[in-house]
Amino acid sequence: MQQSPKRARKNKNKDKKKAVEKSMDCRKCGAHLTSDEKAIYMKLVSRTASSFLCMDCLAEALHCERKAIEERIRYYRESGNCVLFR
């Protein structure tokens, strides 16, 4: 006697709302983004961005050096004023 396979349960959990995670990768090169990279992107480019660039690609897009962006990040973080950097 064979066990009848369990009926495929409807997996309602699948649709469970979880925090919508927006793309965490650089939209240009696909590199994984740190929260700093997303934050600085929002700060420098668009506060409502839904896709982001990594530091390298952002530097390229802004025609500046990656180092300049790193310094910005440090500046915002140290200033402690920006909610994006905590």
Q: How far is it, in rounded angstroms, from Cα 77 to Cα 45? A: 17
Q: How far is it, in rounded angstroms, from Cα 66 to Cα 32? A: 16
Closer of 56 and 82 to Zn ion (Cβ): 56
| Sites for Zn ion among residues 11-40 (CB under 5 A) | 26, 28-29, 31
Question: Among 33, 54, 69, 73, which residue sits at the site for Zn ion (rule: CB under 5 A)?
Answer: 54
Q: Is 23 helix (H, G, I), strand (E, B) or coil?
A: coil
With contacts defined by CB under 5 A, name the span among 10-18, 42-50, 54-62, 77-85 that binds Zn ion. 54-62
Return the bridge partners of 52, or none. 26
Residues in touch with Zn ion (CB under 5 A): 26, 28-29, 31, 54, 57
